[in-house]
Amino acid sequence: MLRMGISLFMSPLLWVWCLLQVGRSGNEEHYNLMLLQLKSVEYERERVSFVEDKKERWCRLKRNLLFLTKNKSSEASEVVILERCWIVEFRSKTDVSIVLKFQSGEPDLYLEAASKPDCESWAVALGEANSEGLQNKIQQLRRLIMEIKEERSSDEARQFVPSSQVDSLGEPCFTSIQRIANEPKLEFSLACKDLVTATRDRKLNTFVQVSVLYPAEHILTRYSSTEIVEGTKDPLFLTGVTFPPEYPIYEETKIKLTVYDVKDKSQDTVRTSVLPDHKEPRADTGRSFLGCTTFRVADLVKSKEQQLTLTLRTSDGGKTVGTIEVNLVKMGELEDGETDHITTDTQDQKCALVRECAATEGISGKDNLPSLNAVLKNPICKLYRFPTSDNKWMRIREQMAETTLSFHVPKELINLHIKEDMRRNQELKDLGELAPHWDNMRKSVIAHCDQMLSMYQDTLAELGKHTGSSFKSSCSKGEKTLEFIPINLHLQRMHVHSPRLKDALYDVITVGAPAAHFQGFKNGGLRKLLSKFEAERRNTGYQCIYYSPENTAKAKEVLSNINHLQPLISSHADLLLNSASQHSPDSLKNSLKMLSEKTELFVHAFKDQLVRSALLALYTARPGCVLKKPAMPKNSTEEGGDLQHQDHPSQIKRQDSIPHHSEYDEEEWDRVWANVGKSLNCVIAMVDRLLEKDNVSNTKEGENDPSAADCKVFHTGGDWYEQLYPLVITLKDCMGEVVTRAKQSMAFVLLQELACGLPQCLMLTLRRDIVFSQALAGLVCGFIIKLHTGLHDQGFLQQLHTVGLLVQYEGLLSTYSEEAGMLEDMAVGISDLQKVMFKVIEAKSEDFLPIITGRREHYVIEVQLPAKMFELLPQEIKEGKLLRMYPVLFNVGINEQQTLAERFGDTTLQENINQENLELLKKYYKLFTEKMPPDCLPHFQEQNDLKGLLENLHQNIQAKKRKNVEIMWLAATICRKMNGVRFTCCKSAKDRTSMSVTLEQCSILRDEHQLHKDFFIRALDCMRSRQIQGALNESDDPETGCLTDNKPTSRHFYPVALLLVSSHLLVVWLILSLALLLAKYQ
């Protein structure tokens, strides 16, 4: 039941029209019948009241008709047609209002529900009943049908049949455009000639809108637009049109080209591409319609010259306003000649899109497609051609793609966190009996840990339900269920073909700064929070033992080694006994060798004073204890613990009811630990003795009687097993005793870490996990892309397993307000990537997604490659050598908030981060020069140049210049020269990131590929155009992926907000205001 208050109604004229439309359906009986049928309709709502007369009314919804009646049994008194309208629902928890807005200009209709659930239900019902909403659904279904048909046609390799023919199912068959796998289906360039202007004195500023008409559906969909070319009637457009492989386009598909004249470019907006297909831009938008034309794809593909010259006509088809040339672009074809043959009205027009070159073997190949398709999806491509300084053409394909790793990596990581936390909770429970003080502490810690574990499990369950886009848009960065997902993670790739240079790929991974947006930045980010927490732990008066972060990390490492090595030692011991039972000397030697290696690693894992100190501390926590020696550790660095003097555990009175704790021998651990080594030595000695006797026996028996030797083998086999079995059992028992004590002692250390900081410790762990998850998803994506592009570069592969991979992050965050907290989160998250190692394995199935193993202090990412690609790797990588990562972060704030931070705030955070990461970069460079031969890498031949870049970077960081973007350019150049992976990050990976990436791309074209200096700005404008390839909905923002409105941006109100939070700015504002007032009244 829904109660509504209606303050405004449709105009009387519309009401009369509505009633007439209802009346045409039939007589009064038919009308009553329709009302009776409404009782079974899903969206029926009752009890509606009008504000004017305060009388209750009944409201019923049928399709796109909203009926209003005076009571439940009466006939409808008014009807509202839900056409060309949209629903506005207020998002606050208390507001239950709905507003119906009409495009026709009719007054808004305000409705109010009785409860929030009713309000939401009515909002959905009214939105779906809207005729435009139904049309959108129909269009989406038709598009889905076309995609299904496309898949069928590609799988079955359908032959061409006329569009008039139909298959046995009654559905039309369409001709697929056969293209190279994973390459665009169709690409073409555009150029206009002899465009007619309304006035002779004015020059045209034109662009072309491209729309697609689906065959047999008669649906026209806006697809893309070119850039605006100014001041000529013969525009040559730099931006081409490309249809990706999965796009449902056929030879029967028609493409409509519409040319617009932009009267004032400054007033033009990107929203041209999202206008309704049946509408032309209004006159007040600053543009006007010139002409349009339509062609079939088959006409372009089958033309001999692969070029069409079409006539542009006005909307009524009468007047000719010029011509437009459509040139087909084919992969692998090169255009000869120079650019001088192109003549236009201005020098800026010496540019056009031409045929793209085929990628070299080192850049792409069919073998790469399965594994890359498992990682990348929904590519968006743009094509360009720019002139070089020697009047040649360079060809550029720009591609942006999403990655499935945005969700895959966080889900794998959360699953590992759950397993690790469950194992830790069990280890805490296995500590055994503790004194009441420590037992209560353990119970509190386990309770808090169980709450966090439940939260991780809920998050993983919610992510498992996600079925939408493969990336998280910026408007979702504050959602709790998506807080582990990176923001706007994309691959930005530029493929350049120059006439005299080798083809080149330039990849940049763009992603929002890894940060815990849902938790907020009121108290700063991880860098500040961790420092503050550690200081509070050190000075806490809580009744627990303080262990430094290094000792805590060591305890986690010991536990990890135990869990890893104990099963391996047991397995090798069983193999040793199996070899003994089979009397196989070679197998016995190999098994003994593996057992010895793993046992030595096991013994050395406990060769640390921390274990001894933790065992002593654990003993003092038992219900009763008497020490032969003082239990106080010497100091925190030497012994690994510092017992608090207040309520010290050693001061707990002995409880005589537990006699087995009456004494504690500190040297007992040394004996237990040494017994493992002694047991191993006994096994080794026995194996050597058996092999020696076997050699002597076989020699003597073989000389006398071969058959007797065989008999001896049968009898001695049982002797070997019987003699080794008790020694192996003793080794396992000694190892089990060590494991039990070591596990309990290290679990006790972790108990102290958690108890000293509840609940802040767990919240910081959660925040760090969130930030690390976002950073790791980007790193895995970058590594896989870099590995695929460098498979044929032996120098890079050698660098990968000899030195490691450099990963350079370019941060564009300011050091003011919330972004300072984001930068602190980002710095810690990127630093934590140092504990990540990569391993390349051969894929055993069609699933090429990476596999993540490990724990919080150490992760191994297993990247799967198909067999043909795996064979290209060096032997070291194929044998499973772990590959190290060297992440570095350089940040330079560039927005208006950074201006305030530099003038009135503090930039120390940015300076410290840049200085720290410069040292890391120098460390990598030193390893690079020591381990890599000078002629191994193509970029490394200029060693002095690379060294000079590092020195220049050092000087710029020390200069502390405001907004010194030279730091970013130098760091990016050094990264590319050392075969690193590039990342660019800002708050949401939108505006600042896109500006930085496009500037970097054009700078590369200028410096590395001889882009003509007069075309730098125009090339930059083309790449920065927000027009994208693909159909756009009317309310979609291609940059943010969320709904947009016409609200003014926050920067219009920015200065006033700043004045309220800064006393210095407030004083300046008051002085300036006073001066302005005096000047005004004088």
Q: How many angstroms separate the Cα of 331 from the Cα of each of 175, 357, 1055?
A: 20, 5, 52
- DSSP 3-state percent helix, strand, coil across the chain (nearest 5): 50, 20, 35
Alpha carbons 846 and 988: distance in angstroms, whole number = 34
471 alpha carbon, distance to own chain's centre: 6
Give, in degrees to the nearest 5, the angle at Cα 629 between 627 and 634: 115
- Non-local (6+) Cβ contacts of 850 within 8 A are 405, 408, 409, 412, 780, 784, 861, 862, 863, 864
Contact 210, 225 (CB under 8 A): yes
CA distance 758 to 448: 8
Quickly list DSSP for 171-210.
-B---B----TTS-SEEEEEEEESPPPSSTTPPPEEEEEE
> The tokens of 470 are what?
């493969």
Residue position matching structure tokens 């990247």: 863
| Contact of 409 with 780, CB cutoff 8 Å | yes
Beta bridge partners of 100: 87, 109
Q: Is the dihedral of CA 328, 329, 333, 337 positive or negative?
A: positive
CA distance 479 to 498: 45
Specify whether the CB–CB gap between 814 and 904 falls below 8 A: no
Q: In Å, what is the CA distance from 44 to each residue of 35, 128, 673, 928?
A: 11, 14, 77, 72
Give residue 827's identity as a one-letter amino acid code: A
Q: Cβ atoms within 10 A of the Cβ of 248, count?
A: 22
- 3-state secondary structure at position 527: helix
Helices 405-429 and 760-789, packing angle to 10 deg: 140
Residue indicated by tokens 């001088």: 340
Whether residue 457 contacts residue 418, with contact meaning beta carbons closer than 8 Å, is answered with yes
Rounded distance between C-alpha atoms, residue 215 and residue 177, angstroms: 14
Edge-to-edge strands, sheet with 851-855: 376-387, 393-403, 490-497, 504-512, 981-986, 805-811, 883-891, 836-842, 858-865, 851-855
From the CB of residue 622, how many other CB atoms can be counted at a distance below 10 Å?
20
CA angle 765, 770, 776 (to 5 degrees): 115
The tokens of 218 are what? 């008669």
Query: Residue 192 forms beta bridges with which residues?
Result: 324
Cβ(87)–Cβ(123) under 8 Å? yes
Give the dihedral sign, CA 309/315/316/318.
negative
404 token code pair: 């499935």
* Gap between the Cα atoms of 130 and 1048, Å rounded: 28
Instruction: Please enumerate in sequence order all residues whose Cβ is within 8 A of that of 564, keeping only pairs 6 or more positions apart, or say none.
Output: none
Instruction: Tell me how long the chain is.
Output: 1082
Active site residue 986: yes
750/707 Cα distance (integer angstroms): 63
Considering 756, 986, 1002, 1022, which one is annotated as catalytic? 986
- Residue 39 to residue 497: CA distance in whole angstroms: 67
Specify whether the CB–CB gap between 836 and 853 falls below 8 A: no
**Would you give the DSSP letter of residue 340?**
G
Helices (H), 7-114: 12-23, 28-37
Q: What residues act catalytically?
A: 986
